[in-house]
Amino acid sequence: MAKKKILFLYNGGTIGQITDLRDGQSILVAPKDGKVFQEVCEPILKKFKESMEIDFEIVTTKDSTNMTPNDWEKLIFRIKKAQDEEKYDGVGIAHGTDTMTYTSTALALALHGRNTEKSGLRIPVCITGAQNPIYKQGGDGRFNLENLFRTLEKSIELGIADVLINFWDRVLLGCRTAKASEKNFDAMHSPAYPNVGNIDAAGVNLNTSLLKLRKDASEKMEIAPKFGRGIVSFELAPGIEPSLILGFITGGGISGMILKSLGEGNVCSEGEFNLIPAIKQATHEYMTPIFITTKFTGGNAVATHYEVGHEAIKAGAVACYDHTDVAVDVKVRWLIGNGICSNIEEFQKAMKTSYAGEVTPQK
């Protein structure tokens, strides 16, 4: 059988960072270039030389905390070129863990596109990272990186055309993943959606029924690569002043506001801290969408079980259902950036709609 052609992108993060002495303390910093990381990766890449032709390419070496939507767009266009022009069979990405889930969600939405019936993505894209640099003995860098290529190999074999994350012994849908720990090797979880696979002594096992497949993709990739600005997020707590919420709206420059609620879409609805009038004024007078999600991992911001949630939706807020909080942030930017929504009703419909598997579709 012909070797599968894989593009391996180094996109920074802990997995490739090096130690430096700063103020008498040893800390991790981004390397000036990715040559050292490439050298350390070579023995791993050689393990797959019988079945894969892997091309290494440096995108950036920076810490993922410094990633922005501009970096997402760069990856989106690189992957499109890899699929459509260079005919790669899969793309692997080494990425920092802090914003890995933001990038994976952005890639999923942009590459699958705005057409919910057909996706132009015809190859698997898999992302991994590590809690330790790859140079550290006893860390997870080598383990996760080897499994990145094993996951790609199995994905190609099964005809998967989706954006995945492999981390420790899990394979996760990229747009459903949340980071659960800053130190545990088992750091990435899928709180409201099943794991799409697992990695054990028998190899990589993937559940194709949970993933998009190449056979269902369109022949042309119509990406939606833009991400809007002016999105602000509040984590609600007892005593948040309504004037604070409205101050952001009336000050200008805000295109959308996300409220991470108490419970499943619940906000304060009585007394001096009643947020319902502020939500109504923001959505009706200033036409600024207010998105209600939950700050609890695995929660579902349906906002129908309690009066305090029902009143927020009645006032004009947009329910976000079982999106992760990361997916809400990225999706709102994506909807605005690509002109998919222009009014509150369209945002309400879009947050019920699954474009890339990021939410359980709502009737």
Closest CA to 112 of 6, 208, 212: 212
Residue 203 resides in a domain: yes
- Per-residue pLDDT tens over the stretch 61-112: 999 999 999 999 999 999 999 999 999 999 999 999 999 999 999 999 999 9
- Per-residue pLDDT tens over the stretch 40-67: 999 999 999 999 999 999 999 999 999 9
Residue 225 resides in a domain: no
Query: Measured over all CA atoms, what is the biggest interatomic distance in the chain, rounded to whole angstroms?
Result: 70
- Assess whether 206 and 249 both reside in one domain: no
Closest CA to 320 of 249, 245, 261: 261
Which of residues 154, 186, 216 is at a domain's end? Answer: 216
Which of residues 172, 190, 216 is at a domain's end? Answer: 216
- Per-residue pLDDT tens over the stretch 153-210: 999 999 999 999 999 999 999 999 999 999 999 999 999 999 999 999 999 999 999 9
Q: What is the pLDDT of residue 297?
A: 61
- Assess whether 211 and 245 both reside in one domain: no
Residues of the chain with pLDDT > 70, as a percent, come to 96
- Assess whether 195 and 53 both reside in one domain: yes
> What residues form DSSP beta bridges with 189?
178
Average pLDDT over residues 228-255: 93
Query: Which residue range forms the structural domain that includes residue 62?
Result: 4-216
- Assess whether 329 and 250 both reside in one domain: yes
- Assess whether 198 and 274 both reside in one domain: no
CATH number at residue 348: 3.40.50.40
> At residue 299, does pLDDT exceed 60?
no
Residue 221 resides in a domain: no
| Exposed/middle/buried for residue 1 (C-beta within 10 Å: 0-12, 13-18, 19+) | exposed
Counted domains in the chain: 2
Q: What is the pLDDT of residue 51?
A: 97
- Assess whether 201 and 281 both reside in one domain: no
Q: What is the pLDDT of residue 287?
A: 95
Residue 222 resides in a domain: no
Residue 363 resides in a domain: no
Closest CA to 256 of 285, 284, 230: 230
CATH number at residue 65: 3.40.50.1170
Quickly count: other Cβ atoms within 10 Å of residue 220's Cβ.
Answer: 10
Residue 226 resides in a domain: no
Residue 224 resides in a domain: no
- Assess whether 300 and 169 both reside in one domain: no
> At residue 264, does pLDDT exceed 60?
yes
> What residues form DSSP beta bridges with 94?
10, 128
Confidence of residue 303 (pLDDT cuts 50, 70, 90): very low
> At residue 12, does pLDDT exceed 90?
yes
Confidence of residue 362 (pLDDT cuts 50, 70, 90): confident
- Assess whether 202 and 257 both reside in one domain: no
Which of residues 216, 243, 258 is at a domain's end? Answer: 216
- Assess whether 159 and 242 both reside in one domain: no
Q: What is the pLDDT of residue 266?
A: 85
- Assess whether 66 and 137 both reside in one domain: yes
SS3 (DSSP) at 37: helix
Calculate the average pLDDT of the chain. Answer: 93
Residue 223 resides in a domain: no
Stated pTM of the model:
0.95
Average pLDDT over residues 231-249: 93
- Assess whether 54 and 199 both reside in one domain: yes
> What residues form DSSP beta bridges with 128?
94
Rounded distance, CA 231 to CA 145, Å? Answer: 34
- Assess whether 10 and 151 both reside in one domain: yes
